[in-house]
Structure 1
Amino acid sequence: MYSTFERGGEFPLALSSRVKQIKYPSKQPYRWNTHAKFITSSLGELKDRRILRADIIAGITLSLVLIPQAMANAQLAEMPPYYGFYASFVPIIVSALFGSSRQLSTGPVALVALMVASELGQLAVGEQAYIAYAILLALMVGLLQFGLGVLRLGVLVNFLSHPVVIGFTNAAAIIIGTSQIDKLFGVTVERGGAHYERMIRMWDVISAGFHTPTLIMGLSAIALLFILRRINPQIPGVLIVAITTTGISWLIGFEQNYGGQVVGNIPEGIPAFALPIIDWGIVPHILSATITIALIGYLETISIAKAIATQTRQRIDANQELLAQGLSNIAGSFFQSFPVSGSFVRSTVTLRAGGQTGFASVIAGLVVILLLLFFTQLLYHMPLSTLAAIVMVSVTALIHFKPIASAWKVHKHDGIVAISSFALTLIFAPHLDQGILIGATLSIALYLYRTMKPRVAFLARHPDGAFRDAVEHDLELCDAIATIRFDGSLYFGSAGAFEDAVLERIRDPKLRYVIVDAEGVNEIDATGKEMLVGVVQRLHEAGIEVIFTRTKKQIIDALNRAGVLEEIGRDRFHATLDRAVAHVWGALEDQYPCTRSCPAECPLHRPRPDGDVFYRV
């Protein structure tokens, strides 16, 4: 099943599920020959002419979607539109060569472009410095992703919970769409300040007057995009709109006769290889954005790879994809690329066009190179309002509030996190990293809060023979025995809850045994261990013995390593609950016969001479 964004947006978020095709390698030193496996396997398949032909067709099809989207996303990143091409040939080729997903298409995407604009727009620098910092940001993002991949730390992205991401992306989609309003109306609005402040300035400027031909061109592009989507989502609407509006712009002289803004001259040729200019003074200012873009970009990429893998049944290496994304951004920065990541729309195009290997993406990259070398003049007359329309329509598929409502229904804490992430991202924009950081922190804090209050149930035997929650099933508890089930890890946050539950139950003066059903305990830390030993000792001094049943191996091993297993007593641990109950009643048989006041704890039917019912295994 696809997430909301996988159905038609740029950012799939299937975070709460894990597909079996994903391979998370063990924590062993990275082996560089892993790259060769992916490259050689694809090259070997290209010997089949059918696969080669399919990849060439898919690559050309992909390039027709990539070209207008690249320009639109470059504009969203507040860079000259042709920089989208610089981010569309080296990164897509490198990702195809080193990634494990055959249909994944890497390049400029809306969400990453927005984060670039949001971060660098605060620096209030000139265009050349802005471009240099964007290229530096790509290098830093790539180095971070590459380092995390080498250390096999891709799992860090799991700290961005599903509620955090759905709240963040809904807010980001709104910010993306509204940030293009000035270009749609053909007005100029000063950058800087909070996003809502810029919206106020934009309203003031538009109220004073706007460029009508630009607005007509933009609204026409929006209408045509929606119409084509409504007729058939498979129609390449972006390409058709780009060609149509560019042709109209050329025919009517949109720039010369009406004063409309167009893409203009695009430098011919591919940019020369050059190391990014490293300004150490600016690095600390863009470090938080580097972390956010690296994690969000990887999250976007691996979500796409998982979605495709469910259809193609290929195996995805998560850390390999992280390495590939890092290499894509590093290599791209040497050719003036801003940060990139995987694109769901373009990956889907590759899949539907019949792409079989990463060679399809290589073909798309080569088409972009040919465009830069020979055909840049064809794009001169493309209206900037068309690019704004492409961005605005594409993000409509990202705005879905149903997942937020669904998160609330699952658990109100998840709803709080999703709503908070949404609101904080809007409030702090353009500081998007702050919104997602606070959301992630809140998510972790609420999770820890929930684990501090795990479920504790007092068990009794149901008439059907099973041990069940005495409160839920209105079962009678035994005075002599307390059977407690604890569902949660015994760690510093929850140890107190376990201790309180035990101490609450031992107020009964007739109590002689406490049976702890530990099946729900998966982990124990030093605090939990100390609490456990202390409870056993204190209850023993009070004449109450503690018995453990169904304790998992990792808990036994932890207690054994800590040297307290013998101190507690190995004989206190039983494999099943029935055996633990039988052991206890064997010791209590004379003092506490199974009378009608205590039927639920007795092991098995057997009549006694006095008429009481006795149960024994």
Structure 2
Amino acid sequence: MGWIGELRDGKVVKADIIAGITVALVLVPQSMAYAQLAGLPAYYGLYASFLPPMVAAIFGSSRQLATGPVAMVSLMTATALEPLATQGGDGFLAYALGLALMVGVFQIALGMLRLGVLVDLLSHPVVVGFTNAGALIIATSQLNKVFGVEKVAGEHHYQTVINIINSAIDHTHLPTLWMAALAILIMIGLKRFYPKIPNVLVAVVTTTLLAWYTGFSESGGKVVGAIPEGLPGISMPGFDLEILAQLATYAIIIALVGFMEAIAIAKAMAAKTRQRLDANQELIGQGLSNITAGLFSGYPVSGSFSRSAVNINAGAVTGFSSVVTGLMVGLALLFLTPLLYHLPLATLAAVIILAVANLVKVGPIIHAWKAEPQDAVVAVITFALTLYIAPHIEYGILVGVILSIMLFIMRSMRPRVAELSRYKDGTMRDITVFPELQTSDKIALLRFDGSLYFANAGYFEDKVLELVSKYPNLRYIIIDGEAINQMDSSGEEVLHHLADRLKSLHIEFVVARMKRQFMKTIRRTGLLDSIGEDHFHSRIQFALNYAWDGLGEDYDRTKCPLRRQID
């Protein structure tokens, strides 16, 4: 709420009012479409777009984030509730409100405990794979409304799509198909040639007028129908502990995925406007907006990429623009609902399809392959699994998260270990990268690129002993500890035994460039005194000088491959 004082500036207020109205023109039809995607009556999208955007703007930290119904959260809401009740039924509506409350409570708890970092468990490859699959699932879930045929659900989503296509071959309702095609052409055409015109609003108005004039509903076309007039009242949904238990996993996933979407766009806008963003405060704002949605006949909401972009591009300066957006939705609920009676469901389906079309991107997967092939594999597995097991898409993202964590653990268990030698510019380089570099049979230099903990301590020991066996005349082994950021008790224990074992072989164990955390650990355990403080050096050169001094005057250091080659 730090922006409230800025509203004394008339220019700020004017800019926010214009931006708020602009976003509302997109939000009204879009929210109705997303409510349909969630399996709810279209007007529930308006309810979720009334108070939640205001609450998120007031209690969050982002100034331009536009909160409300979004495609991915709507799809996950439908997935969560479908096994529990019939879409559109009283039970389904009550569970939607309860789900919003659970999502909100979980997000607030994360924010209060300052656990916003949990969203980092959703790695970029997982998000890319899940988003691509989700976009395809969302788009194909609207095919029955585009063709005007009944939706015959299969066990998996792809089976449902096959059933719809088979039904559409013989039973397509042509007026519905033409209405969807017209809406798509209007939105694509205006976006390309007249981008400043609200294309979604124009498509909605045009097809609604056309449906009214031609008697679209009388010919078998499906329309939104009657929408209750007035603002939503506060209500507390009934709680069934068994149902809550079934929804708990979905609530956690929706909370994390929704917040991930919100914080991603919020960070991008904060970088553009150079404003401070508090992820934990944003969690609280998003959580309160979801609780508000649950109390006022809405369903789970989140920050929207598309509407946030519209908001900032329209000149929004503070969160007051979202307050204006909510007020405009309230006016629509009070006075404009009769005008939406003839709005074709095919138009809403077209709005959804075009909204998610930009989410299908192959480029990030290719980029991930170039950066790290294993990450691309995780993205592809998440994508394929999410598509295959839909509508149970939550398992796709869970498997992706597990794979990412497993990859992280595997990488940290086997970090890069490099034997070093002096390069011609005086630096120490990996001899596997520069095989022309010579090594010493008396002194070996090893770099361990990772923290030393229980999962890789044995690996570290094996690599050191492997180096010992490589050089029978070895007298000193120097560990470059620059990359060892942390060391747990297992790592310290291995280090202790390794030093003793090398000592029995008449090999001195020396460490250079240690981090402060490393030194604090060995001081507390007494390992520093056991090995000897003179065996720890702040620079590699100091460690080499110590080794050369230990070898005595008979050793000609000028012939050592580790000597300085430039002065």
Fold similarity call, TM over 0.5: yes
Q: Partner of 1:61 in structure 2?
A: 22
Q: Partner of 1:477 in structure 2?
A: 439
Asked if 2 retains the 8 angstrom alpha-carbon contact of 1:87 and 1:107, the reply is: yes
Give the secondary-structure state (helix, strand or coil) at the position aligned to 1:398: coil
The C-alpha deviation readout for 1:452-483, integer Å capped at 9, x for no partner, is 22111111222332222223222111111111
Q: Does 1:574 align with 2:537?
A: yes
Q: Does 1:318 align with 2:279?
A: yes
Q: Does 1:254 align with 2:230?
A: no
Which of 350, 354, 361 is residue 393 of structure 1 equivalent to?
354
Q: Partner of 1:560 in structure 2?
A: 523
Q: 1:369 to 1:545 in 2, by over 3 A?
A: same
In 1, Cα distance between the equivalents of 2:360 and 2:430? 43
Which of 347, 358, 361 is residue 308 of structure 2 equivalent to?
347
Q: Does 1:550 align with 2:519?
A: no
Q: What letter is aligned with 1:155?
A: V
Q: What letter is aligned with 1:63?
A: A
The C-alpha deviation readout for 1:370-417, integer Å capped at 9, x for no partner, is 111122101111100000000001111000111111111111110111
Q: Partner of 1:328 in structure 2?
A: 289
* Bigger proportion of residues as helix: 2
Asked if 1 retains the 8 angstrom alpha-carbon contact of 2:425 and 2:565, the reply is: no
Give the secondary-structure state (helix, strand or coil) at the position aligned to 1:149: helix
Give the secondary-structure state (helix, strand or coil) at the position aligned to 1:567: helix
Give the secondary-structure state (helix, strand or coil) at the position aligned to 2:514: coil
Which of 355, 361, 372 is residue 322 of structure 2 equivalent to?
361
In 2, Cα distance between the equivalents of 1:209 and 1:149? 51
In 2, Cα distance between the equivalents of 1:144 and 1:563? 44
The offset of 1:148, in angstroms, is 0.5
Asked if 1 retains the 8 angstrom alpha-carbon contact of 2:448 and 2:484, the reply is: yes
Q: Partner of 1:503 in structure 2?
A: 465
Q: Does 1:271 align with 2:232?
A: yes
Q: Partner of 2:80 in structure 1?
A: 119
Q: 1:261 to 1:471 in 2, by over 3 A?
A: closer
Which of 145, 152, 163 is residue 183 of structure 1 equivalent to?
145
Q: Does 1:586 align with 2:549?
A: yes
Which of 136, 139, 145 is residue 98 of structure 2 equivalent to?
136
Identical columns (%): 50
Q: What letter is aligned with 2:151?
A: V
Asked if 1 retains the 8 angstrom alpha-carbon contact of 2:424 and 2:565, the reply is: no
Q: Partner of 1:432 in structure 2?
A: 393
The offset of 1:123, in angstroms, is 2.6
In 2, Cα distance between the equivalents of 1:207 and 1:359? 49
Asked if 1 retains the 8 angstrom alpha-carbon contact of 2:85 and 2:91, the reply is: no
Q: What letter is aligned with 2:46?
A: F
The offset of 1:604, in angstroms, is 7.8
In 1, Cα distance between the equivalents of 2:214 and 2:323? 37
Give the secondary-structure state (helix, strand or coil) at the position aligned to 1:506: helix
Asked if 2 retains the 8 angstrom alpha-carbon contact of 1:122 and 1:192, the reply is: no
Q: Does 1:85 align with 2:34?
A: no
Q: 1:58 to 1:515 in 2, by over 3 A?
A: same
Give the secondary-structure state (helix, strand or coil) at the position aligned to 1:482: strand
Asked if 1 retains the 8 angstrom alpha-carbon contact of 2:64 and 2:318, the reply is: yes
118-127 or 258-267: bigger deviation: 118-127
Q: 1:202 to 1:169 in 2, by over 3 A?
A: same
Q: Partner of 1:19 in structure 2?
A: none
In 1, Cα distance between the equivalents of 2:335 and 2:196? 29
Q: What letter is aligned with 2:332?
A: L
In 1, Cα distance between the equivalents of 2:83 and 2:53? 29
The offset of 1:111, in angstroms, is 0.5
Which of 527, 549, 562 is residue 490 of structure 2 equivalent to?
527
RMSD of aligned C-alpha atoms?
A: 1.5
The offset of 1:234, in angstroms, is 3.7
Give the secondary-structure state (helix, strand or coil) at the position aligned to 1:460: strand
Q: What letter is aligned with 1:566?
A: D
In 1, Cα distance between the equivalents of 2:85 and 2:480? 62
In 2, Cα distance between the equivalents of 1:122 and 1:195? 14
360-369 or 183-192: bigger deviation: 183-192
Q: Specify every segment of 5 or more residues in structure 2 that has no aligned partner in the other structure, as ranges.
A: none
> TM-score of the superposition, structure 2-length normalised?
0.97
The offset of 1:232, in angstroms, is 4.1
Asked if 2 retains the 8 angstrom alpha-carbon contact of 1:54 and 1:354, the reply is: yes
In 2, Cα distance between the equivalents of 1:453 and 1:368? 55
